[in-house]
Structure 1
C-alpha cells in the first residue's frame, strides 16, 4: 500500500493517526504551561521550575523536539514512501516524550534517573528518522537525520554539563541544531508554498529557485553556529554569525514575501525566517560589541522569535492541511500569530532593558502562553477528530 492508503486503513484513535496530532497538541499545551511555571518558580514558587536550567531545558529539549517530531513523523513518510509511524508505535514514541517531561518536573526526587528517562525520547526519535530515511534511500534528507542526532546528543551533553564542566555546550548545540533546521526546512517550504500560492493567483514574478545563494547561506549558517558552539566568545564566531544573519535576510528577499501579506498563514513563514536572520545577526553583535548588545538579546531573538514563531506557523499550516481544511488563517489564527510575535518582542526588550525585566518577563510569558494555549484551544478539536 502507498503511504496514503496505509493511513486510510488505520482504524485506531484519530489522535495517533498522524505524528503531528499528538505532538503538536501536547507540545503546545506543555509550552503554554512551562512559561508561566518558570515565572512562578522565579518569583517564589517551586525551585525546580524556577531554575534557569529547567527553563532552558524544557524549551530546547521539551517543547522544540515535540514540534520537530510532529513535523518529521508526518513528512518523512511522504518523502520516503514508507509506512508511517502511527498507532501503537506513535503512542509509544509520544509516551517517551511525556515521560521526559514528568521526569524533569521531579528531577530532585528521581536523581540521575530523570536524565536517563528524559534522554530516551530523542534517542528513539532520532533512530526512527534515521531508519526511515535510509531504508527509503532518501539521501537528500540525511541532513535532517543529522540534526535529530545532534539534538539527542545535545540533550545528553546538557545533563552532563555540571559533571563534566561543559560550560553550556548542550544548550548551544541544541540552538545550533535549531538554527540549521530552520534554515534548511524553512528555506525549503517557505519559497515552495509561496510559489504555489502565487501561481494560483496567476502571478508572473515567483520566488527564486534554490540556487548557489541558498547553498552559501546554509553553509555560512552551519559554519557560524558551529563556531559559536565551540567558541561562544570568539570574535570570528561573532563575525560569522553576523554574516550568516545577513545572508539569511538576503535569501529571504528572493522569496517574494511582501506579495503574501494578504494570507497571514503564508506571510508568517516569511516573518519567522526574518527572525532567524535578525537573531543570528544580533547574537553576533553581542559578541563583537558586548557593551552595546547584551548576549541574551540574540539568544532570545532566535529562541522566542525564530523558533517560537516558526513552530507555531508550521503547526497551524500542517494541522489545517492534513485535517482537510482550507489553508487560510481565521481570526483565532491571526490572534495567536500576533501573540507569539509580541511575546518575542517583549522577551527581546527584557534583555535590552534590565530595569524592567520582571514586568517584561511576565508579559512575554503571558503572551507566549496565549499563543500556544490559543493553538491548543483552536486547533485541538481538529487534532483529536478524524480528517474531513
Structure 2
C-alpha cells in the first residue's frame, strides 16, 4: 500500500471542495472512531464494575464485542482504505456530501444501537448493515475505473465483513445455531488478514524511512504463505474441521508470520516512536494466533486471552500507530510525534500485557479488565486531543485532502 509520507498524488492543488473534516475519509473516521472507542470502553468498564446500568441492543456483552469490531474497527478500516485508494489509483476518493452521508450512517448506527427501544431494533440493525456494503461500493469504483485489480481484494473483504455483521445479528436472535462469539472470532481473523496484507506492504518501507536503514527485500513465497495461512485459518472457522486441524493451521499461521515479522527487524525501530508500535502489534497478532492454536489442541485454556492478544495488542496498537502516522502524512505534516503520543504508545503496550498476561497470574478478572480499559481510554483519548487540530484543519501545504 503506497501511502506516501506527504499524502500527495502528484497532481496540481485542487479547489477546496468542502470543510476540511470531509475532504478525505481518514479525517472523520479516524477521529470519531477513536472518540467512540474511548466512550465505548468507558461504558464497558462501567458495566463490568456494576456502576452503570447499561442496556444496549443485545445486552452489554454482545454490544461490547460487536461495537469494538463492527463499530470502531470497521470505521478505521474503511477510513484507511477509502483514503489509500486515492493514492493507489490517482482518482479522487469519496469526499464532501458523499463522505458526510457515509460517515453519518456509521455514526447514526452507533447511537441507535445504544438507545433504540425494542420495537425499533430492526430499523437500527438495518442502518448498521448498510455501512460496509456502501463503503465497499465507494472503494470499488476508482479501482474498477483504472482496472487496478491488485487492490480489488479489499472489496470482497469488506463484503465478507458485512456478511459477518449480518450473521452476528442473526445469531443474537437465535435465527442460526452459531454463537455470536464464534462469529466475532471470524471477524477478528478477517481484520487480521487486512493487517497481514497492509503490514507486508508498508512496514518494511516505514521501517526503512523511519530508521534510515536499507529496506528489507520481500521473499515472494514467504509473503504468499503469510497471507494464505490466515486465509486458511478463516476457512477453518467457516467449515467443520477437527480441532487438531484448526490448531495446526493457527500455529502454522503464527509461525510463518513470526518469521516474516522477524525479518522486518523490530530491533532497529526502538528509537522510532511511529514504527516500533507497528512491529509490536504484528507480534501480538502472531501470539494471539499461536494461543488460539494451542487452545484448539487442548494445550491452552483461555480462548479469550488469545483473541484479546489479537484485538487489543494487534488491532488496538496497530490502529493507534497507523492513524497517528497516516493523519500526519495526509495533512502535509512531518511524520514525527512528540512525547505525548510516544507516552500513549508505551502505556498502551502496558495495557496489552496487563490484559493478556496478568490474568494468568492474578485472578482478579474484573480489576484486570478495568485497568486495561483505563489505559485504552487514556491512550486513545490522547490521540483524540492531540489530533483534533490535525484532522479538523486544512492541510498545512494548502492542498485539498
After TM superposition, is the score higher than 0.5? Answer: yes
1:213 pairs with 2:219: no
Structure 1 residue 48, shift from structure 2 partner: 2.2
- Which residue, out of 365, 368, 381, partners 1:373? 381
Once the two structures are overlaid, the 10-residue window that deviates more, 218-227 or 60-69, is 218-227
Change in CA separation of 1:158 and 1:232 when aligned onto 2, cut-off 3 Å: farther
Rounded Cα–Cα distance in structure 1 between residues aligned with 2:192 and 2:229: 11
Which residue of the partner structure matches residue 153 of structure 1? 163
Change in CA separation of 1:289 and 1:82 when aligned onto 2, cut-off 3 Å: same
Which residue of the partner structure matches residue 106 of structure 2? 97
Structure 1 residue 173, shift from structure 2 partner: 2.7
Greater fraction of residues in helix: 1
1:118 pairs with 2:131: no
Which residue of the partner structure matches residue 277 of structure 2? 268
Paired residues for 1:23-34 under 5 Å: 23-34=29-40
Q: Is the 8 A contact 2:359 2:368 kept in 1?
A: no
1:188 pairs with 2:206: no
- Which residue, out of 365, 369, 391, partners 1:361? 369
1:228 pairs with 2:237: yes
Q: Is the 8 A contact 1:208 1:255 kept in 2?
A: no
- Which residue, out of 162, 171, 176, partners 1:164? 176
- Name the Cα RMSD after superposition: 2.0
Rounded Cα–Cα distance in structure 1 between residues aligned with 2:13 and 2:139: 18
Which residue of the partner structure matches residue 399 of structure 2? none
Paired residues for 1:30-179 under 5 Å: 30-44=36-50, 45-49=52-56, 51-109=60-118, 110-161=120-171, 162-168=174-180, 169-179=182-192
Q: Is the 8 A contact 1:257 1:267 kept in 2?
A: yes
Once the two structures are overlaid, the 10-residue window that deviates more, 99-108 or 215-224, is 99-108
Q: Is the 8 A contact 2:251 2:290 kept in 1?
A: yes
Once the two structures are overlaid, the 10-residue window that deviates more, 53-62 or 146-155, is 146-155
Rounded Cα–Cα distance in structure 2 between residues aligned with 1:233 and 1:296: 20
Change in CA separation of 1:125 and 1:119 when aligned onto 2, cut-off 3 Å: same
Which residue of the partner structure matches residue 249 of structure 2? 240
1:295 pairs with 2:303: yes
Structure 1 residue 35, shift from structure 2 partner: 0.6
Structure 1 residue 77, shift from structure 2 partner: 1.1
Change in CA separation of 1:158 and 1:354 when aligned onto 2, cut-off 3 Å: farther
Change in CA separation of 1:210 and 1:56 when aligned onto 2, cut-off 3 Å: same
Q: Is the 8 A contact 1:129 1:145 kept in 2?
A: yes
Q: Is the 8 A contact 2:20 2:392 kept in 1?
A: yes
Change in CA separation of 1:61 and 1:351 when aligned onto 2, cut-off 3 Å: farther
Q: Is the 8 A contact 2:49 2:366 kept in 1?
A: no
Structure 1 residue 354, shift from structure 2 partner: 7.0
1:384 pairs with 2:397: no
Structure 1 residue 144, shift from structure 2 partner: 1.4
Structure 1 residue 210, shift from structure 2 partner: 4.5
Structure 1 residue 97, shift from structure 2 partner: 0.5
In the superposition, the TM-score normalised over structure 1's length comes to 0.93
Change in CA separation of 1:378 and 1:133 when aligned onto 2, cut-off 3 Å: same
Rounded Cα–Cα distance in structure 1 between residues aligned with 2:20 and 2:102: 16
Structure 1 residue 350, shift from structure 2 partner: 5.6
Structure 1 residue 254, shift from structure 2 partner: 1.3
Rounded Cα–Cα distance in structure 1 between residues aligned with 2:21 and 2:55: 31
1:321 pairs with 2:329: yes
Rounded Cα–Cα distance in structure 2 between residues aligned with 1:212 and 1:118: 39
Rounded Cα–Cα distance in structure 2 between residues aligned with 1:99 and 1:264: 35
